[in-house]
Structure 1
Amino acid sequence: MTDRVREFFEMGGYALYVWPAWGLALVILGGLALAAQRARRAARSALADVERT
């Protein structure tokens, strides 16, 4: 079992390329999610300002 897990994480010798790519993808997706959340908050705030006037 341990050998299979290690073999999975080694990715057939390509782990040096695969895992950083996964990490970068997660960072980018997290950044996009944060940017979308901030934009939504700003849009709601702007809409509330317009509705008040």
Structure 2
Amino acid sequence: MDPNMSTPAPMRPEPQKKNNTWLIAGGAFAFLCCCCLIFLVVAYQYGDQILKAFGQG
């Protein structure tokens, strides 16, 4: 263990190089998942209103 890392590493004891790439990939994946979830929630909540608007028009 490195003397600089006195605090325990979170969960995965990986080297910094791999950890950095995994962090970037995980962040991008989480960002895409959040965007998809927000889109689904908005479409689910406002879907009826959009259909009613098109039906009335």
TM-score by length of 2: 0.58
RMSD: 2.8
Aligned length: 48
TM-score by length of 1: 0.61
Q: Any stretches of 5+ residues in structure 1 without a counterpart?
A: none
1:40 maps to which of 37, 44, 47: 44
Q: Are 1:11 and 2:14 counterparts?
A: yes
> Identity of aligned pairs, percent?
11
More helix by share: 1
Q: Which has the higher contact order (CA 8 A, sep 6+)?
A: 1
Q: Any stretches of 5+ residues in structure 2 without a counterpart?
A: 1-5
Deviation at 1:7, TM superposition (A): 8.3
Q: Are 1:29 and 2:33 counterparts?
A: yes
Structure 1 ranges of 4+ moved more than 4 A: none
Specify whether residues 35 and 6 from structure 1 end up closer, same or farther in structure 2 by C-alpha distance, changes over 3 A only. closer
